[in-house]
Amino acid sequence: MIGKILSLLQNERPASAGESFTRVQVATCALLLEVAHSDGQYQAVEERIVHDLLGGMFSLPADTIAELVDFARDHQRGSTDLYQFAREINAHFSTEEKLTIMEGVWRLIYADGTLDKFEDAIARQLATLLRLSHKEAIACKVRVLDEKR
């Protein structure tokens, strides 16, 4: 018993899977998953985009990204709103990094070639939550659409 108390006080405990991720990594992943699921489907191409975005933004290996996605999915499912995730991103990311996320959002939305009303609504909501102007959000959308042509 004394050993357990001492190890807690000295913080000598093995890290759980979630403790190896930063809060901003979990928040970013959770937002991307929310977008990917917003049309009621989560396709393989969307999964690949989420993994590619996370790998590019955080320089994580594929197996770590898979763990991050699983961990963030649990947080995303247990959340009642997107604000908590956006708040974390706003606290740690520059405007350029938030624009990278917004481009990723549009890549996820257009992965299946269509924009439905739920995807459009979540993109608008995220732009607002990430404190991006309408002009910045639309510029991200246009860049993604131009890549598809």
Assigned domain for 1 exists? no
> Domain tally for the chain?
1
Assigned domain for 14 exists? no
Assigned domain for 38 exists? yes
Checking if the pLDDT of 12 tops 60, the result is: no
- The answer, as to whether pTM is greater than 0.75, is yes
Distance separating alpha carbons of residues 133 and 110, to the nearest angstrom: 21
The domain that holds 47 is classified in CATH as 1.10.3680.10
Assigned domain for 87 exists? yes
Assigned domain for 91 exists? yes
Which three-class secondary structure string do you get for the chain? Answer: CHHHHHHHHCCCCCCCHHHHCCHHHHHHHHHHHHHHHCCCCCCHHHHHHHHHHHHHHHCCCHHHHHHHHHHHHHHHHCCCCCHHHHHHHHHHCCHHHHHHHHHHHHHHHHHHCCCCHHHHHHHHHHHHHCCCCHHHHHHHHHHHHHHHC
> Do residues 45 and 111 lie in contact, with contact meaning Cβ atoms separated by under 8 Å?
yes
Residue 136's domain comprises: 21-148
Determine the pLDDT at residue 7: 38
Residue 125: φ, ψ to 5°:
-60, -45
Query: 25-81, pLDDT tens digit by residue?
Result: 999 999 999 999 988 888 999 999 999 999 999 999 999 999 999 999 988 888 888
Dihedral of the alpha carbons of 54, 59, 64, 67, in degrees to the nearest 10: -20
Assigned domain for 13 exists? no
Assigned domain for 9 exists? no
pLDDT confidence band for 19 (50 / 70 / 90): low
Assigned domain for 136 exists? yes
Whose tokens are 């990311």? That residue is: 93
